[in-house]
Structure 1
């Protein structure tokens, strides 16, 4: 079966089921069709995440978030013509339809010129003291703690590498020699690794002011104590589609108020809601920044990433939020570390691979 036929979905398919189709196909895209395969719209991972931010339920039909006016081409042209269209318009996929808008084929990026290695830099913040994980971090930096059979930081690097990102900068401070001795220049992992050595605490963004060269393209910044199954290619696509100066990954967080919540209108009691559950989005510690955003980072000073986003928003720059739906764990306390070790087998081992 031609691979594009794997991503044809009904307009009544739920967001949740559509996400499964997109993830399983690895094509980052699905086409919404009627029973005769006439194209009704398209949907990307970014379309779904923007719908989630608007409050659209995962059980809602995909037609609520699909793009009803996708870029497409009619049949009858040579393949070279379609390739030129995709290159000129920087498309990752191009539906080709007949006069009745029935899909004849869908062309993808790798039908044109597949580029496995991406030039976007990944900056990993690995200089923290890990005080909340003591005594585990008395003699080892937190990113070097082993989860499964390898350091947290190695799992992060391998995850980025699986999506074609191979240029890394590690910001190190506490016990930095252990990180540098282990990873060296990245050759053994098939990547390129450089280092920024902090001589003092610079927060989650301050070390960016010490970059020797300004990145030429949007770049990632990520805390070095996170485990996640995020698709970094989808994150970058979302950032570019949003035309944002900076994108922050967010995670839905639920909390319950342990009391009855009272609503009043002056002295009049309007309602009592017993122990309500509230949902909100919280910072997940993963970011994509345009190179221009570095102008707002003070040189060699303590500066956290939320401070950068506040400045960008305050100066009228576009900032975007990317909602995570994948596995994500911030290893901040001993209980988190124990959970990460248990989760590793089911989330990070390839089929047939054994841990340790």
Structure 2
């Protein structure tokens, strides 16, 4: 879910002491079709639209009348963590084109626009896709085909990842390649066929999920996404990027809840004393989903061309006292690492 640009939505804010004339000027200048009236500490007090202004003028109010006399004091709002599908549903059900985002103290932190929900604007952020692995566990499928190019539902997995990201406004991609990388380059080229830009990182030897990004040149100017090229998911790439920004994180890792049931009855003991029983307990843990958002500055913690995996990079950032966070996923997700995973993926994409 992509809110309006972090700076643009601020132009819709108007202090409670403003006039109707100032509200009209705000509507004209911002182009957002809504004014958000706020208190001195940024809390949302009400909203004003062009219709509210026109009705006020018909009632005889003057342009120097207070904006609070015409504002709607109970606008529909949503919290920052609400996903795109629910935002879309609320806007459609309530026939509104603007939906303010507020925090727990009702301070305005963003604004959803209908056009941005239905057709997200292009994002400046880069997506890096790790596609250089040998795919040994998928032999013999990967004998003459790099794993990300294995077809799923008539398309290479890598193409499905790229198309999903493109649908959310991403247009800059970097693909890290090694094993049979020429096949990936020949298929995608510079990305022009898809209306995007694709560049390549060529690993002389496998550098791991984090080591490859040490080769980025020039460095991204904005937070960038990193995803494994064998992970198929319905995750909203834009939402994890926005989540990273809202929490002022240096590094964000998408995590999935993994459940495992012990097939045996568990006996709890203290020394030789039995203290209780758990019949086939279920254990729940968060596992790495292979999708990340990183601030450009984290590249300082990598040595160019040196092997490193992503958990190690996160540990280095943590030791510096910098903010590393988890993005809990609930969307369908599949790591296509083994033949049965590939078969499962293909059964889900019979299109």
Alpha-carbon deviation of 1:327? 1.3
CA contact (8 A) 1:72 1:94 kept: no
User: What is the aligned partner in structure 1 of residue 169 from structure 2?
Assistant: 164
CA contact (8 A) 1:121 1:220 kept: yes
- Cα 1:312–1:236 shift into 2, 3 Å: same
2:148 equivalent to 1:143: yes
CA contact (8 A) 1:73 1:96 kept: no
The one-character-per-residue Cα deviations of 1:281-303 (angstroms, maximum 9, x if unpaired) are 00000000000001111221111
CA contact (8 A) 1:226 1:329 kept: yes
**Among 221, 226, 235, the residue aligned to 2:226:** 221
2:53 equivalent to 1:81: no
The equivalences for 1:242-261 within 5 A come to 242-261=247-266
**Among 230, 234, 249, the residue aligned to 2:235:** 230
**Among 327, 334, 337, the residue aligned to 1:332:** 337
Unmatched segments (≥5 aa) in structure 1: 1-25, 30-70, 346-354
Alpha-carbon deviation of 1:261? 1.9
User: What is the aligned partner in structure 1 of residue 135 from structure 2?
Assistant: 130
2:57 equivalent to 1:96: no
- Cα 1:299–1:165 shift into 2, 3 Å: same
Alpha-carbon deviation of 1:116? 1.3
2:201 equivalent to 1:201: no
**Among 174, 182, 185, the residue aligned to 1:177:** 182
User: What is the aligned partner in structure 1 of residue 320 from structure 2?
Assistant: 315
CA contact (8 A) 2:233 2:333 kept: yes
2:140 equivalent to 1:116: no
Alpha-carbon distance between aligned partners in 2 of 1:103 and 1:191, rounded to the nearest angstrom: 38
Alpha-carbon deviation of 1:102? 2.0
Where in structure 1 do 4 or more consecutive aligned residues deviate above 6 Å? 26-29, 71-75, 97-100, 111-115
CA contact (8 A) 1:202 1:303 kept: yes
- Cα 1:294–1:95 shift into 2, 3 Å: farther
CA contact (8 A) 1:72 1:95 kept: no
The equivalences for 1:287-302 within 5 A come to 287-302=292-307
> Which segment drifts farther, 300-309 or 93-102?
93-102
Alpha-carbon deviation of 1:315? 1.7
The one-character-per-residue Cα deviations of 1:102-127 (angstroms, maximum 9, x if unpaired) are 22874545489997111100000000
Question: TM-score, length-normalised on structure 1?
Answer: 0.70
- Cα 1:115–1:284 shift into 2, 3 Å: closer
The one-character-per-residue Cα deviations of 1:293-318 (angstroms, maximum 9, x if unpaired) are 01111221111011101111122110
Alpha-carbon deviation of 1:80? 4.6
Alpha-carbon distance between aligned partners in 2 of 1:95 and 1:336, rounded to the nearest angstrom: 51
Matched position secondary structure for 1:185: coil
**Among 285, 291, 310, the residue aligned to 1:286:** 291
Task: Tell me the C-alpha RMSD between the 2 structures.
Answer: 3.0
Unmatched segments (≥5 aa) in structure 2: 5-12, 37-41, 49-67, 77-95, 100-110
CA contact (8 A) 1:72 1:96 kept: no
- Cα 1:94–1:131 shift into 2, 3 Å: farther
CA contact (8 A) 2:45 2:73 kept: no
- Cα 1:80–1:324 shift into 2, 3 Å: farther
CA contact (8 A) 1:117 1:166 kept: yes
Alpha-carbon deviation of 1:265? 3.5
User: What is the aligned partner in structure 1 of residue 62 from structure 2?
Assistant: none
CA contact (8 A) 2:47 2:72 kept: no
Total equivalences in the alignment? 275
